[in-house]
Amino acid sequence: MSTDIKNIMIVGASGNLGSVALPEILKTTKLNVSVLTRPESTAKFPPNVNVVRSAYTPEAFKGQDAVICLLGFTGFADQQKVVDATIAAGVKWYFPSEFGCDTADPRTTEIVPVLAAKAQIAEYLRTKEKEISWTGVITGPFFDWGLKNNFLLIDAKAKTATVWDSGDTPFTTTNLATIGTALRNICESPSLLEEAKNKYVYIESYTISQNELIAVFEKVVGAKFGKTYKKNEDVIKEAHELLKEGNFMGGVPLLLQVTNFSDLNLGNFKSKLWNDKVLKDVHEDLEEDVKKVIASQA
């Protein structure tokens, strides 16, 4: 199967990740980019992208060489439909909706059962490798989005932070636009595609501990932050109680935070990074990124 990709289609291009990653992918000079969106969707897209409004059918994916799935939690149940439709359409390559915790590690899916849906898609793709190749991109939590939406639990206005366990365990985190850049670079390079064939690719903007990140905020703001400490076992218990009550939006984020930030050390991908291959020309500045987030919240 040729690894030369020209036509790519993005599913989920209007979500938290897709809306920022898409403009980065559209900077390509080598790829023809389309997005697939539901017929009833009112999402708006840049004028230089082909928009296909359709259900997940083989016809919708005809003529595409690669499909990038950026569906969020609410779309997990649909992902096998997307995979089956891409295979039926003769698509060469599939990027499953990973872009977060390391679901290749069974300890992660044990703590966050909802992520098992991602691991199951990877297993399904492994059974289809004679028909389609795949690459899973693992990023850790979204850095800029996580700061703006309090997932990283640092409040610059209140000068407070919540810290899991010691706060000294490094975690890997990636800016949304950086994910788009990595996807573009992989799709544009036949040699990178071949190297990443049927594998997980790990990327970062930063690998840093909570305490180190809080210190950057303190430097930028010019004040010490108050810290509230939580133990991972207590948070896991709290999250499970919320899930038993049917509070999905309360329980799942807590489990994700424990997985990424606690001393369980499941969020540090430093030893696995592909940055020197897929992001070799990307240079990011932690302090400047923190300043941008603080300015956006002023």
pLDDT digit string (tens) for 135-183? 999 999 999 999 999 999 999 999 999 999 999 999 999 999 999 999 9
Q: What is the mean pLDDT of residues 290-296?
A: 92
CA distance 33 to 153: 35
Looking at the predicted structure, is the pLDDT value of residue 1 above 60?
no
Residue 159 in contact with residue 225, Cβ under 8 Å? yes
pLDDT bin (cut points 50, 70, 90) of residue 296 is confident
Q: What is the pLDDT of residues 15-32, one digit of tens each?
A: 999 999 999 999 999 999
Residue 69 in contact with residue 79, Cβ under 8 Å? yes
pLDDT bin (cut points 50, 70, 90) of residue 73 is confident
pLDDT of 297 reads 78
pTM of the predicted protein model: 0.96
Containing H/E element for 22? helix 18-25
Residue 125 in contact with residue 197, Cβ under 8 Å? no
For residue 140, give the DSSP letter: -
Instruction: Give the 3-state secondary structure percentages of the chain, helix then strand then coil, rounded to 5.
Output: 45, 20, 40
pLDDT of 4 reads 84
pLDDT bin (cut points 50, 70, 90) of residue 87 is very high
37 forms beta bridges with: 53
CA distance 172 to 116: 20
The domain 7-141+172-204+268-282 is classified under which CATH number: 3.40.50.720, 3.40.1410.10, 3.20.20.70, 3.30.470.30? 3.40.50.720
Q: What is the pLDDT of residues 229-277, one digit of tens each?
A: 999 999 999 999 999 999 988 999 999 999 999 999 999 999 999 999 9
CA distance 26 to 48: 8
Helix/strand/coil for 203: coil
Q: Which residue has the tokens 């390079």?
A: 189
Helix/strand/coil for 91: coil
- 188 vs 75, higher pLDDT: 188
As annotated, the residues of the chain forming the CATH 3.40.50.720 domain(s) are 7-141+172-204+268-282
pLDDT of 2 reads 58
What the block records as the tokens of 95 is 């990027």
Looking at the predicted structure, is the pLDDT value of residue 49 above 60?
yes
